[in-house]
Amino acid sequence: MTKLAQHSRKDDDSNAEVKSANVVPIRADADVDPLANFKVEAEGPTARAARAGRLSKKVLGLIAAIVVAAALSAAAGIVYARQRTSPPSSAAKASPLEHASLNSRPEGAAVIVDGVARGVTPIDLTLPVGQHEVLLRNEAGERQLSVTVEKGTRISENVDMPAPAASGQLDVTSEPLGARVLVDGTVAGRTPMKVRSLTPGRHVVVVSDGTSSVNRTVDLTAGATISMFLSLATPAGGPTGTLAIDSPVELRLLEDGHLLGLSNGSPLVLPPGKHRIDLVNDALEMKASRMVTVEAGKAVHVSVPPPNGTLFVNATPWADVSVDGRTVGTTPLGDVSVAVGSHEIVWRHPQFGERRKTVVVGAQTPVRLTMDMSR
């Protein structure tokens, strides 16, 4: 019986629980029986359990490695996500700053850049590169503009702001003081007082103490201040008289520097006696004075004809000239005397036709006109 058969029988006798055997090569000597090169290892329950334990450890180790790898991958993903979603650092957000100059006419406009007040014009700012919304504001209105700041450039913006509405002022004084003042039917206060921010133009001023009142019509120009002194007291010598000034041009009537009214307004109410009345029209360079005597209960009328001004008129090559429809001669014309005020000048040439122009002639400064008929 061979060694293999002997081992098999021995195993059958000694261990009936052997279910399988492993054949393991021992050596490969050519002179030895081939069967002698193998040994048979029996694997019982204990061996199988050990092998299962080793397999379990390997499986558990593999699972643990997979879990660890998954955890590391997830951690790496979180870090990447944080890197992707985290806000940039302050250094990354900072943009280059460039200079910008903002100016307005008139100056003093409030400057608001991207909703933030930065000061008043004129102003020099540093702004980040990019587009900015700029708002300039003053009492008369606003101006909006978009400013694009580019790297390496200096921005300069000049803005015309809305002009404040020109206004005038009245200084009103009365005798006695404390009289109520109405301007254009609206109560303004009591004398002495200043009525500010009045629009240019004609205004009706009424001063009343409850028993008597005085009306005045004034023509207020932009930026001007008119001083008015109105007497409400009845003079001891009896009732008041009136003074009316007749003039083809409007004149301001003043006494001792106080405005009494306008020549084309209501007659002046004055106490009896002598009065020096100044007659003024600044636009026409006209200033005159009249001494008048006012009698109680009577009306005085004074006519003030306008003075004359001077015209110098020329034309190229030449022209016949008329003033307000009246022929005055052929150019060149000098020392043409006309009444102060507005006049229409007409030039006529047989080849070049007719030209017209309206001018205002003052009492002091000559007006010089030249017309190119060939144009």
- What token pair was written down for 283? 């636009």
Position 47 scores a pLDDT of 59
> Cα–Cα–Cα angle for 123, 126, 130, nearest 5°?
120
Distance CA 359, CA 357 (A): 7
Position 58 scores a pLDDT of 67
Please report the domains of the chain, with CATH numbers, ordered by start residue.
Answer: 3-43 (no CATH), 95-160 (2.60.40.10), 171-303 (no CATH), 308-372 (2.60.40)
Position 230 scores a pLDDT of 78
How would you write the pLDDT of the chain (375 residues) with one tens digit per residue?
Answer: 444 444 444 444 444 444 444 444 544 444 545 544 444 444 556 656 566 566 566 666 777 777 666 666 665 555 454 555 445 554 445 668 888 888 888 788 899 999 898 888 888 888 898 888 999 988 778 888 888 888 888 878 888 887 666 788 888 888 888 888 988 888 888 888 888 888 888 888 888 887 777 888 888 887 788 888 877 765 544 567 888 888 888 888 888 877 777 887 767 778 888 899 999 998 899 998 999 998 887 888 899 988 999 999 999 999 999 999 999 999 999 889 999 988 999 999 999 999 999 999 999 999 999 999 988
pTM to 2 decimal places: 0.43
Position 369 scores a pLDDT of 93
